[in-house]
């Protein structure tokens, strides 16, 4: 009998413990857009995450997903393993007064927790539509506050499931950017320790005021990813986009918000391709009129259907 030669890549992928294969991702993003993950894992704790990474085949690429609020997942999905950290939500005040928060915790929950403890400077976190892990990765900010100005230390996990401790001195931190001074491949934030000064203001009142302001200026209640572009130095991306008469401009079911021009809304069944085409129009229009290059704040992940 002749034996066929079978390539390793032709064999079905065996699922690891707790892992799901060919898993749809669209409903895990705030845009409700995107294809499937080849592998998907939702760890119940950072210890379970470590165990998973230790068993994941070394050649498998890893993509990290939190609340899915700052990502565009392409229609062809994501190869390799997608790890969603949204169940890693431990939060506590330590005896020294610092706050410990894990990567999957929402920034809104962190803001409320800190404010109730008398740390009103943390109120701005309520305006960040994502998780602590995502906020650490991009130095997210809102209402004049930025994540890393309050970070005392961070814990990361590497591709081998090992935990690493670092401090802000190990990073170059700027507007919506965080770069390791000595970068190591395939590391991700799993927790952070924050230190805030005690305040006399009512943090919960501040949160309510900030959220009221946000609801008046942003398209809350729609499928969007938050701000699509970073603000260029000395200007605002929304102002530039609006000045190009692009409010309400539409490609398929993706539309530029009439309320805030730096928001793109999925108004029905938009594809990632629709959004990317809209982004190309925005970028070329702003460049053509103002000679300013806009830089996307949203992360684009995965492959197109034809890739």
Residue 307 is assigned to a structural domain of this protein: no
Residue 14 is assigned to a structural domain of this protein: no
Residue 245 and residue 261 in one domain = yes
Residue 8 is assigned to a structural domain of this protein: no
Q: Is residue 125 within 8 Å of 211, Cβ to Cβ?
A: no
CA 153/CA 131 separation, integer angstroms: 17
Question: Closest Cα to residue 262, out of 225, 296, 237, 289?
Answer: 237
Residue 243 is assigned to a structural domain of this protein: yes
Residue 169 and residue 240 in one domain = no
| CATH assignment at residue 136 | 3.30.465.10
Longest dimension (CA), the chain: 83
Percent pLDDT > 70 in the chain is: 95
pLDDT at 5 over 70: no
Containing 210, the helix (H) or strand (E) segment is: helix 203-217
The angle, 0 to 180 degrees and rounded to 10, between the axes of the packed helices 203-217 and 107-116 is 150
- Cα distances (angstroms) measured from residue 184 to each of 110, 118, 157, 199: 28, 37, 11, 37
**What's the total number of domains in the chain?**
3
pLDDT at 6 over 60: no
Beta-sheet pairing, 36-41 with 91-93 = unpaired
Question: Closest Cα to residue 223, out of 50, 19, 28, 92?
Answer: 28
- Residue 236: its pLDDT value, please? 97
**pLDDT, tens digit (0-9, with 9 covering 90-100), for 83-129:** 999 999 999 999 999 999 999 999 999 999 999 999 999 999 999 99
Confidence band of 306 (pLDDT split at 50, 70, 90): low
Residue 234 is assigned to a structural domain of this protein: yes
Within 8 A by CB and 6+ apart from 48, the residues are 18
Q: Does residue 146 have an active-site annotation?
A: no
**pLDDT, tens digit (0-9, with 9 covering 90-100), for 123-177:** 999 999 999 999 999 999 998 999 999 999 999 999 999 999 999 999 999 999 9
Q: Which of 30, 227, 257, 271 is catalytic?
A: 227
First to last CA, the chain: 37
CA 52/CA 68 separation, integer angstroms: 21
Residue 65 and residue 170 in one domain = no
Domain containing 72 equals 19-84
At residue 280, φ and ψ (nearest 5 deg) are: -60, -40
- Residue 203: its pLDDT value, please? 86
CA 129/CA 138 separation, integer angstroms: 13
Residue 12 is assigned to a structural domain of this protein: no
Angle at alpha carbon of residue 232, lines to 227 and 236, rounded to 5°? 60
CA 91/CA 109 separation, integer angstroms: 9
Q: Which of 45, 50, 153, 176 is catalytic?
A: 176
Q: Does residue 227 have an active-site annotation?
A: yes
Q: Does residue 159 have an active-site annotation?
A: no
Residue 133 and residue 157 in one domain = yes
| CATH assignment at residue 289 | 3.90.78.10
């Amino acid at each position: 009998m002749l034996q066929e030669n079978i390539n390793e890549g032709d064999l079905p992928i065996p699922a690891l413990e707790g892992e799901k294969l060919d898993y749809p991702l669209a409903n895990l993003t705030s845009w409700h857009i995107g294809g499937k993950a080849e592998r998907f894992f939702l760890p119940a704790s950072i210890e379970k995450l470590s165990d998973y990474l230790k068993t994941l085949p070394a050649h498998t690429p890893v993509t990290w997903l939190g609340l899915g609020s700052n990502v565009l997942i392409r229609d062809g999905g994501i190869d390799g393993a997608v790890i969603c950290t949204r169940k890693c939500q431990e939060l506590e005040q330590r005896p020294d007064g610092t706050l410990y928060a894990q990567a999957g915790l929402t920034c809104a929950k962190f803001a409320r927790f800190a404010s109730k403890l008398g740390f009103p400077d943390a109120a701005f976190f309520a305006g960040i539509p994502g998780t602590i892990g995502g906020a650490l990765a991009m130095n997210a900010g809102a209402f004049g506050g930025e994540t890393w100005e309050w970070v005392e230390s961070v814990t990361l996990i590497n591709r081998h499931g090992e935990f690493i401790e670092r401090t802000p001195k190990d990073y170059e931190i700027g507007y919506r950017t965080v770069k390791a001074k000595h970068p190591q491949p395939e590391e991700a934030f799993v927790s952070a320790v924050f230190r805030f000064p005690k305040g006399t203001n009512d943090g919960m009142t501040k949160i309510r005021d900030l959220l009221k302001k946000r609801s008046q200026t942003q398209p809350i209640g729609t499928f969007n990813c938050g701000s699509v572009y970073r603000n260029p130095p000395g200007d605002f991306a929304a102002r530039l986009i609006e000045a190009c008469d692009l409010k309400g401009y539409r490609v398929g079911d993706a539309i530029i918000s009439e309320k805030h021009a730096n928001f793109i809304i999925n108004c029905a069944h938009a594809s990632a391709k629709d959004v990317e085409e809209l982004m190309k129009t925005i970028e070329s229009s702003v460049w053509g009129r103002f000679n300013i290059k806009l830089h996307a704040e949203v992360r684009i992940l995965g492959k197109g259907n034809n890739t």
